[in-house]
A and B are shown apart, each in its own frame.
Chain A
Amino acid sequence: MKASVWLMGLAVAGMLAACSKNDAFEDVNNVDLNNQTAGAVAGTAGDPTSPVYFQQAVGDRVFFLVDQSTLNDDARTTLDAQASWLLQNTDYVATIEGHADEQGTREYNVALGERRANAAREYLISRGVAGNRLKIVSYGKERPVEICSVESCYAKNRRAVTVLAAGLTG
């Protein structure tokens, strides 16, 4: 599995492979999500229970100001919708990936990304999502989605992305 596919938060199928070594996800490693091939998000946007709906209609990511991990109104609105979706679609667990822009040192950005991912996770928990459904990981500045070196790109890279995986069984 190519790392970049799932790291960009686009592939639920990819996420399964990526999480294969993480104990909380062990039960679900073999779930085949709608026979999707790697690189595509499972389901269709028309199906409100599908990961692609979550990604596109609900919104899978929230953004942060420079050096901040505070959730603004837009972020809370998005996370409210994510929480509602997760509460209705209990078959899914999620890993929240925290990211930073390139304007910072490597180690600090790993720590900062963790702060951001944790802020999103705490908010989802405050809205009723069970903590054991939500993992976090930080990529620091290692996985930008936008590659220009100006604020318009940086703003999109300072993010926390909620990546779904087929969830807790039983």
Chain B
Amino acid sequence: MDPLTRNWLWLLALIGATVALAGWPAALLAVAFLKAVAILNGFLHLTRASGWLTAFAVPLGLWLAAIWALHAVG
């Protein structure tokens, strides 16, 4: 299968997971992270750039963890 189509199907599956996980903040943010990585990796081709996917994904993951922490405190 074309890698772009595979990435699109993966994103649709993650959208389905988002619907299924309503009410679970940590899981919803984890799925948001997976969707962001799929876009960075599959559509913006960051896997072709050594180290750059990590450079984008780690701050994003830390930020989403901070959002979860703020949400959990409230």
Chains A and B belong together in one complex: no
